[in-house]
Amino acid sequence: MSDPDVFRAIADPTRRAIMSMLAEGDLRVSDIASQFEMSRPAVSKHLAQLESADLILVERQGREAINKLNPEGLKPVAEWLTFFSQFWDDKLANLKQAVEESDD
């Protein structure tokens, strides 16, 4: 799985909503589909994209598929955000220093 898959997966608001639902507990496809005004196959496509990006895990229990959030799948996003957080921390520290020096 490549990092672009993760970013592509979380770019869609429906997939982000599904991930938020799964953060509260494991759900069957039908449980997830009942929360949206779209067909079950459409929800299944969203789930497949989340699974291919390693953002969810699917466990088969008989005929049911239980979907579980995989927090480890968000690691590339967290690393990307950490990089930019440090970038802005450095820029703001430099700005603060420049302002303080200009007051002297």
What CATH number should be reported for the domain holding residue 18?
1.10.10.10
Q: What is the dihedral of CA 82, 77, 37, 41, to 10 degrees?
A: -170
- pLDDT over 60 (residue 1): no
Average pLDDT over residues 43-50: 96
25 burial class (0-12, 13-18, 19+ CB within 10 angstroms)?
exposed
Cα(25)–Cα(63) distance, integer angstroms: 19
Cα(77)–Cα(2) distance, integer angstroms: 12
Report pTM.
0.77
- 66-90 pLDDT per residue, tens: 999 999 999 999 888 888 777 777 7
Q: How many domains does the chain have?
A: 1
**Domain ranges, residue 79:** 3-103
Confidence class of residue 2 from pLDDT cuts 50, 70 and 90?
A: very low
Higher-scoring residue by pLDDT: 90, 7: 7
Confidence class of residue 102 from pLDDT cuts 50, 70 and 90?
A: confident
Cα(4)–Cα(76) distance, integer angstroms: 9
